[in-house]
Amino acid sequence: MTPRPERHVLVCTNQRPDGPDAMPSCGANGSTEVLSAFLRERAAAGSMRSIYITQCLCLGVCPERGATVVIYPEGTWYVGVEAQDVAEICREHVVGGRAVDRLVDCRYR
């Protein structure tokens, strides 16, 4: 049986079609780079082997910049995550268990 993951990271990679009335989407804001950064951090750190990383479609908050990322089991929502934020999120939250407050969406604390 597969062991339960220590943490599960969901990264929205939803991409909406371009257009003058298009809503923002994580895919248009570089979320594939965010997803790649999480995968690279996991590959580089043996301590993150029990971390699941899953790309998903729209989570409903659709930021103007960056991507939406949710981390379980805490259920912490990060909004506006950019690739350069991922190392800090991994070090502080995924490994250390402490949310990165400056990126947490206050609606989902």
Q: Is 59 in the site for ligand FES (CB under 6 A)?
A: yes
Residue (26 or 89) nearer to ligand FES, CB: 26
Site string for ligand FES, 22-51 (x = CB under 6 A): ---xx-------------------------
Residue (14 or 76) nearer to ligand FES, CB: 14
For residue 87, give the amino acid letter: A
End-to-end CA distance of the chain: 32
CB of 31 to ligand FES, least distance (A): 7
Token match 């206050």: residue? 106
